Amino acid sequence: MDEHLRWDDLKVFLHVARSNSLTAAARVLKMDPATLGRRITRLEEDMNTRLFSRSPQGYDLTDAGARLLVHVDEMEMALRLARGEVQDNQDQLTGTVRIGAPDGSANYLLPQVCAEICNENPGLEVQIVALSRVLNLSKREADMAITVSPPKAGRLTVQKITDYHLHLAATRDYLASHDPIRTTSDLKHHRMIGYISDLIFADELDYMHEVGEMVKPALASNSFSVQLNWARGGAGICIVHDFAIPTYPQLQRILTDQVSLTRSFYLVRHADDRKVERLNRFADLLIPKIRAEVRKLEANL
């Protein structure tokens, strides 16, 4: 079989193995799922073995498929390294970098920071994946991820980016039209906004227990952006990142002397990607720019 076509088949195999789904892999590769199915069948025939166990739930690797995945991962990394060495000879960054991030940082920090990096590197394309969960870097869902807690497992490298702060906030109109709030005990008389407790994907996001045992959200979402839209619409009181408040001048922090939370952002990467100089250079730009942006926005309060 032609070598180029062989790599194309292996690339299809890689994406199906990572997503356990023809449909999901087809979206990433921008191909028809039926075409991917034929590629997988062709690869299995060529290797004279079954690589996947098909079921209504998806495509699961067989033992042979799992062994092949190890080698195809190494091939992909070799290509990434080769591409990086070629691009590293250029003064500016080029290519695509995909960053995963919780939606607070994805909405209120990364857009301006990444736009600035792209202005300095016109050949660079940045993709921001905002999800209310931790991305799987081993499955190459992203090149790097911003997290609120350092991972404890996996072949990953972690760099602390910066601390950030959060406070209770509501609109001035809400505060003027409801009972006064002098202590945290007064919060039980107000509508609270927060996370859905069983969908909190990191302990660091479980804010309410630090506010008070009797405080429970009446409006809840797994998305911080949804929570913030409720708060800025005057629906109640929310714990808000200080760096997001300057975007909405109608919001006012409250009880700052009684409730003040500090959290941290971390940059997480797959260990193998530390060999990719292009990603190292991007990370070296990203980290100080995020730190500076947080300091600037928090100073505006």
CATH class of the region 3-87: mainly alpha
The pLDDT of residue 85 is 57
CB-based contacts of 151: which residues, under 8 Å, 6+ apart? 134, 158, 268
Question: What is the CA 83 to chain-centroid distance, rounded?
Answer: 24
Q: Does the structural domain 95-162+264-299 have CATH classification 3.40.190.10?
A: yes
> Is there a common fold for 95-162+264-299 and 164-260?
yes
Better-scored residue on pLDDT, 275 or 222 = 222
Q: What is the mean pLDDT of residues 189-218?
A: 86
Confidence of residue 3 (pLDDT cuts 50, 70, 90): very low
pLDDT tens for 51-63 read 888 888 788 888 8
In this model, does residue 1 exceed pLDDT 60? no
Q: What is the mean pLDDT of residues 259-274?
A: 90
Rounded to the nearest integer, the mean pLDDT of the chain is 87
What residue segments make up the domains of the chain, in order of their start? 3-87, 95-162+264-299, 164-260
Give percent above pLDDT 70 in the chain. 90
Q: Is the pLDDT of residue 89 over 60?
A: no
199 close to 133: Cβ distance less than 8 angstroms: no
- Residue 108 predicted with pLDDT over 60: yes
For 15-55, write each residue's pLDDT tens digit: 888 888 888 888 878 888 888 888 888 888 888 889 888 88
Q: How many angstroms separate the CA atoms of 130 and 97, rounded?
A: 14
pLDDT at 99 over 60: yes
Confidence at residue 80, expressed as pLDDT on a 0 to 100 scale: 66
Confidence at residue 5, expressed as pLDDT on a 0 to 100 scale? 45
Tokens of 200: 């909190």
Q: State the fold for domain 164-260.
A: D-Maltodextrin-Binding Protein; domain 2 (3.40.190)
Lowest mean pLDDT across 27-36, 77-86, 167-176? 77-86
Show Cβ contacts of residue 104 under 8 Å, excluding neighbours closer than 6 positions: 224, 225, 241, 244
Q: What is the pLDDT of residue 42?
A: 86
What pTM was estimated for this model as a whole?
0.72
Q: How many residues does the chain have?
A: 301
When pLDDT is cut at 50, 70 and 90, the band that residue 201 belongs to is confident
Q: How far apart are CA 286 and CA 169, in angstroms?
A: 29
pLDDT (mean) for 221-240: 96
- Higher-scoring residue by pLDDT: 78, 206: 206
